[in-house]
Structure 1
Amino acid sequence: MASASYTEDLSCPICLTIFADPVILPCGHSFCRECITVSLKSQHQCPQCRATVPTEENNLLTNHILKSLAEKVKENEKLKNEYRHDKEVAEWLCPEHDEKLKLFCITDQQLTCVICRDGEKHEGHRFKPIKEAAAAVTQELTTFLQQVLSDTPTIESTAKTQREEITKTKEKSHQLMTQISSKFEEMHQFLRKREEEIKNELKHKEEDDVEKMSESLNAIETALSENRELEGKVSSVLEITDPEKFLKSWTEDKTVVTAKSSFRPRGNTLKVVNTSLYLGPYESHLQFFMWKEMLQLIKPREERLTVQSNSANVTVVSQLSSGQHYWEVEVGQREYWEVGGQNSFLKFDGQNYYDSHQNKVLAFAGRPQKIGIYLNCESKELSFYDADGMTHIHTMLPGSMPVSAYFKMAINRNPRIVCWY
């Protein structure tokens, strides 16, 4: 609204457009020179207030203030027509002075108008005309673009390498998945086979025992049947109350007489056959013995080393620089020990565990009797476990390769034992 009113104030009352060479009449009203000249030819009055304009006023005075303002408005209108939108026009006008932005402040790196240049805000700053500044910036951007263009192939190469590493990781993961599945399937096959063998062994033992017990039961049931038959016959004879008939029946029935003469009590001689069903260690220590048997399936073999040295420091194996290695050290109840590599080891001082490489206290709170150490030379990782349950304690980077297997512990009467796999 303010902009519209401002434009109206700078419009000629006759042609209703922005003043073109405005002139001022004695009454104070202003008009375009051409518009008022034509109007005064027909009537010697001001078109607005009807005040008489003397005919001798042939030379109309230019209204310089209106002329200057009108020219600025026309310039703004020209910008509006050029960029179509008020917002775009405003971007090319100084927000403080409403002047066209013609300079570039090198110090502040921003467009300014000529009034800004002389203001306090930009005092002591360096300025360039927009075309010169644009040429300088264009040169800088061209140089910068060349740097970007030269850097892009390197980044593309790095991206390609990274993609290749991702592919390698996926391929290696797939290989390891296949390897793990194969190893577990091998163990599953071994366990399933041993399960069937042990079950068959149990079945055979069951069949043998049941056969022996069935034979015993048949003998017992035969003796029971014979006793009950004899009991019936003797009971029948005893039921005869007449003496003559009784004796006659007794003497005539020779089976009872024969049975009586040959009868031998068998109640104490017939014995129950007890089961001998027993699977030995598979009955009480099945998992343990399966683990022992599975050691035949696992290629690494335990090499038990008993160290009797009086020295607290012992290097067991030196120069481990390739492959994967695992060994265990019995630490027992010792109040101080160091196990691992010669330059990177796990330390226990009776209360806390330490990473010697980073010299920091670990959060592990258990009290293992045996420490397992796994060295992967490919990934350069040294891992420690509670060997009894294979609980992970800590993993560290040994730093330099090769690694020497090493331990140090308080000397006591118990020998120090190292198991190498």
Structure 2
Amino acid sequence: MERKRERERERERADEMASRLSQQEQELTCPVCRDIFRHPVVLPCSHSVCAACLLPWWTARPTKECPVCNDARSARLHEPPPVNLALKNLCESFLEERSRCPPPLCRCALHGEKLWLFCLEDEQMACLVCRDSERHAGHTLRPVDETARRRREQLPASAAHIRSKMEEWDRFHKDDYLSAGEHVKAQARHTEMQMKREFKAMRRFLHQEEEARIAALRDEERRKSAAVAQMVAALDGEMAALSDAIRDVEADDVSFMQNYKAIVERVEDILDLPEPPPLPEGTYLDVAKHLGNLTFNVWAKMKDAMVSYAPVVLDPNTAGGGLDDDVVVSDDLTGAHRAGRNSNQAYIPVTPERFDGYAVMASEGLESGSHSWDVEVGDNTRWGVGVLEKPLHREDWFDDDGFRPGRHWRLLHCDGRYTAKYSPDWPESETELATSSSGELSVNQKPRRIRVHLDWERGQLSFSDPDVNNNNARHLHTFTHTFTERVFPYIECVDIHEGAPLKLLTRKVCVSLEDHSQI
């Protein structure tokens, strides 16, 4: 009887301890992820949130508000919220203590004794009383620590292997996702600034149009930032699973053996997890959609004004670079130059769309009709203009000689020498051998502008100097080819810093409305 009362007192003390532990755990739980705080930061309203939870929470909402009380004072913060060191230390101590504490299910449900043994036939934990009962008569029972050690050796992966995989994901994938989210925000801020600058001149007439386009920009920013946040959240979820698996594998022997089958299944599932996918193409903002031909697209709402039109708009997401410098696209997306990375220009991260060289591509391809555009090359000593077919993979852009294998047609200038180059170097016909193969051109007068004319149906790509005699353009070279794929205009900025930007010239366009009701 005395022994039974002692067991009851032990159970009451265990329940009381579990209740206090549960209350403490609630106080150390993040209000967003509902888990123990990881690197908590404190907001102006004095509430704390995990740093990793705060960015997705703010990204998915129009204002930076507290997840607990909706206080909006965080919107005035110019720096990230400070770390709550006291709470961080409490959470780390709590997690360390919880990892050392034995689990509540450490006693036999039938006899209340500690579970010291494991029945190999029944695959169940057993106490000393169970060993002598009829239920386990003739069964083989082994100490828990001995059985747990052997079972750990039989796992398809160790805790160290799982931890290594988690660290690899955190090091090589999560940083990319977070950097992508920050770059999307930087693009949004810069693009919004440019949009406001252009709209300032048309404020009286175009206030409503400006608001509509900025709303579209912010909507895309929210969607793409939310998409990046989802990728980060998905990665965090997988890493949480890895962390749970590590905790289960490293748990005390009793808990490990009680959950052994589930642990085996979890570890096998983790080993089958695929690597986190790379950043998909289109992760970043489609800046060309918002800024390209902006004044032309809104001209219909202006009656007594003329607008400039760029036949070719550059895509800044394709601007390439080298080890120490980048190709920088102008704010209006019509010019580009090569700038050192120590300049005021923001560094452009590696993306699936980006060139691996000093070039930038147009935002839209051409696959029919007749098109022409002028490129102002000025006094630059090394440059290239032309068209190319877009490869499927970024690593295919350039070969060892500086350009990618595949079809491209371009006019090059290098220190006074002009060359028409077609790739691949082998012709498809005798006609292409005469008109499309690579070769040096004889140019007596240095052109300051190059006019590129593409006639898709006729299969001709011509280069000329439009400045000769101010009227008749001087022909430089014509490629003849039967185009079957979409081609993209592009420019190469090979001059090292001293050259002026290559500029795609805009045109003044006068638009009149035709009254179809009279037809």
Q: Scaled by the length of structure 2, what TM-score is found? A: 0.22
Larger RCO: 1 or 2 (CA < 8 Å, sep 6+): 2
* Greater fraction helix: 1
Q: Scaled by the length of structure 1, what TM-score is found? A: 0.27
